[in-house]
Amino acid sequence: MLTNQRFARSTALFISLIILSFLLMTFDVRSEGEGVTGTLRDGVRTLFDPLQSAVTAGVRPVADTVDALVNLAGLRTENDRLREQLEDANRILAETESIRSENEVLRQLLQLELPGELLSQSVVARVQAGGSSNFDFSVMLNRGADDGIAVGQPVVNLQGLVGRIDSVTSSTATVKLLTDPDHSVAVRLVDSGLIGTAEGRGSGDLKFTSSRADGPVAEGEVVVTFANRYPAGLVVGTVARSADVTSGTGLQTTIDPVVDFGRLDFVRVIFFLPGSGDDVPADDEAPGEEEAPVDGEAPAGATP
pLDDT interval class at 77 (50, 70, 90): confident
Task: Tell me the CATH number of domain 122-304, given options 2.40.10.340, 3.40.50.2300, 3.40.630.30, 3.40.50.720.
Answer: 2.40.10.340
- Residues near 163 by Cβ (< 8 Å), separated by ≥ 6? 138, 154, 155, 175, 176, 177, 178, 180, 183
Q: Give the mean model confidence (pLDDT) for residues 49-60.
A: 64
CA 302 from chain center: how many Å?
Answer: 36
pLDDT single digits (tens) 198-218 = 999 887 899 999 887 778 888
CA distances from 141 to 129, 257, 283 (A): 7, 21, 37
SS3 126: strand
pLDDT interval class at 110 (50, 70, 90): low
pLDDT single digits (tens) 230-264 = 888 899 999 998 888 776 667 889 999 999 998 89
**CB atoms < 10 A from the CB of 110, how many?**
10
CA gap 217, 283 in Å, rounded: 20
Residue 159 is classified by DSSP as S
pLDDT at 95: 67
User: Which residues lie across from 123 on neighbouring strands?
Assistant: 269
pLDDT interval class at 187 (50, 70, 90): very high
